[in-house]
Amino acid sequence: MPPTTTTHPSIAQDIPAIELRPVSIPSLQACATHANPDPIHAAPASPSPSHLNDSDPPLNAISAEEPTTPLTRSVKLKLISACFSFFVAGVNDGSLGPLIPYILRAYGISTGFVTVVYGTTFLGWLLAAVANSYLAIHLPFGSILLLGATLQLLAQALRFWTPPFGLYASTFFVVALGQALQDSHLNTFVTTVKGAHRWLGFVHAMYMLGNLVAPFVATPIAAGGDETRNSRWGLFYLFPLGMGVLNVVLVLVAFRDSVPWKRAGQTTSQGTGATDERSGKNKIAIKEMKDTLRLPAVWLLSLFYFFYLGASFTAGGWVVEYLVQVRNGSLASVGYIPAGVAGGSFLGRLLLAEPTFRLGERRMLLLYCVLALTLQLVFWLVPSIIASAVALSFMGFFLGPLFATGISVGSKLFPQKIQPAALGFVFVLAQAGAAIFPAVTGLIASRAGVGVLQPILVGLLVIMGISWMLVPKVPARSE
């Protein structure tokens, strides 16, 4: 679950003298207009749009320097909340693959209907990209996090009683919207902490830990019943429901300094000046988006992420059904195999981050792509469930560091002024790949059988490697 990022001034309550390093789509940048609710730790006021011109750096320009925010007790608590948020998102996303066979049989639907789930997920992320600008203007940082956590909790509450398929599919829209709001803003907070690259790696590893845990919870619960409409698979969602409650509580405790229940008098006190400022910032965001779309490196890196997330989500979503239908595996046993993939990716994000950085990000990612393709061919050509499980786990290990490393390369490729807009655009297209390719696989499988998974994965991995070769080399930064 790869999130976009945005920026918010209330983060600055624990970091009074540092420059933030946000990663966001441009429409989210208007959130920088919020007043800090704590006057003691208030951040410097942003200049009025009337004082801005094209030569000025953006209000939330990314710093080329390493963040130096110390790990105070408050910051540590917020990091714990961020880690748990990504863990909850990982549990949600990691459970779909093991549950798909039960969903198909319980609702009596073909694999083509699963495309609805992936489609609604993408729509949730897309709406978040559009709505974030409005929310960032009218809500403080912590309140946006609380809204995201609450939406995820609501989605899980609608699932555990096995609702009609239409309602069940719509919950993926709600949970994706909540994840996009919460995870994107938390990414920005983590980038302000000293040693941010390590903390980002750890936070995203927590997402994969959730992917690892989910199959071990979902599979035994689902396998405990029959495969009819009365199957127990829906009871799995009581687990993420409980996690969702804790997620909300952690947000309320960790970010209580930016979750005011009422912001009385803000609009009347700012009046026309506030309206003019918002209008000016919206114009800046539009200009940055135009500059972003003119940059070839943005499109080339977006292409890499499009196929990378497409391959990852396609494999994770359809591997269990493939092993059941093609390899004649036991549904109760092969349901655990996605956990091996997630476990490999979890270890890859923890163990390969430093070697990748030291040995050269460009060459190491190309090596990982080649190794992943080799392991995919083993999965396809060796008709053994054990061999498949081992190959998939190692494939997850080598694909694990690709996400964070791509972010690192992108931050060096894009001019500092448009980095938030550029990286945000990259992540929107990445989510499109994560939704489109699993959906297309389901449509093709409904006619040709789920065996089409193998050539589709090979093709995606090959194109992913080629697209990485097309990404420009990182130039020397003079900023």
Three-class HEC string of the chain: CCCCCCCCHHHHHHCCCCCCCCCCCHHHHHHHHCCCCCHHHCCCCCCCHHHCCCCCCCCCCCCCCCCCECCCHHHHHHHHHHHHHHHHHHHHHHHHHHHHHHHHHHHCCCHHHHHHHHHHHHHHHHHHHHHHHHHHHHCCHHHHHHHHHHHHHHHHHCCCCCCCHHHHHHHHHHHHHHHHHHHHHHHHHHHCECCHHHHHHHHHHHHHHHHHHHHHHHHHHHHCCCCCCCCHHHHHHHHHHHHHHHHHHHHHHHCHHHCCCCCCCHHHHHHHHHHHHHHHHHHHHHHHHHHHHCCHHHHHHHHHHHHHHHHHHHHHHHHHHHHHHCCCCCHHHHCCHHHHHHHHHHHHHHHCHHHHHHHCHHHHHHHHHHHHHHHHHHHHHCCCHHHHHHHHHHHHHHHCCHHHHHHHHHHHHCCHHHHHHHHHHHHHHHHHHHHHHHHHHHHHHHHHCHHHHHHHHHHHHHHHHHHHHHCCCCCCCCC
Cβ–Cβ < 8 Å for 309, 51: no
Residue 109's Cβ-count burial label (10 Å; 0-12, 13-18, 19+) is middle
Residue with tokens 């990404």: 471
pLDDT the model gives residue 39: 32
Q: CA 88 → CA 119, 361, 401, distances in Å?
A: 21, 29, 20
pLDDT the model gives residue 307: 95
Ramachandran angles phi, psi of 193, nearest 5°: -90, 145
pLDDT the model gives residue 318: 87
Cβ–Cβ < 8 Å for 1, 93: yes
pTM: 0.73
- How far does Cα 118 stand from its chain's mean position? 14
Residue 210's Cβ-count burial label (10 Å; 0-12, 13-18, 19+) is buried
Query: First-to-last CA distance in the chain?
Result: 31
pLDDT the model gives residue 382: 92
pLDDT the model gives residue 199: 82
Residue with tokens 């689902």: 222
* Residues contacting 55, CB < 8 A, separation 6+: none
CA nearest to 93, candidates 184, 267, 212, 186: 212
Cβ–Cβ < 8 Å for 165, 284: no
- How far does Cα 422 stand from its chain's mean position? 16
> Where are the alpha helices (H) located in 63-113, listed in sequence order?
73-107
Q: What whole-number distance in Å separates Cα of residue 270 and Cα of residue 39? A: 17
3-state secondary structure of 329: coil
Cβ–Cβ < 8 Å for 338, 316: yes
CA nearest to 316, candidates 88, 5, 92: 92
Ramachandran angles phi, psi of 37, nearest 5°: -70, -15
Which residues lie across from 193 on neighbouring strands?
Answer: 69
CA nearest to 319, candidates 219, 405, 176, 464: 219
Q: Per residue of the chain (479 residues), what is the pLDDT tens digit?
A: 554 444 444 444 444 444 444 444 344 333 333 333 333 233 333 333 333 344 444 433 334 445 556 788 999 999 999 999 999 999 998 898 889 888 988 888 888 788 888 889 888 887 877 676 667 667 888 998 999 999 999 999 999 988 999 999 999 999 999 988 887 778 767 767 877 667 877 888 899 899 889 988 998 898 876 555 556 899 999 999 999 999 999 999 999 988 875 544 444 445 555 566 666 656 666 676 677 788 899 899 989 999 999 999 898 888 988 998 899 888 778 878 888 888 899 999 888 888 888 888 889 999 999 999 999 999 999 989 999 999 999 999 999 988 878 877 877 787 767 665 676 677 777 878 888 898 889 889 888 888 999 999 999 999 999 999 999 987 654 44
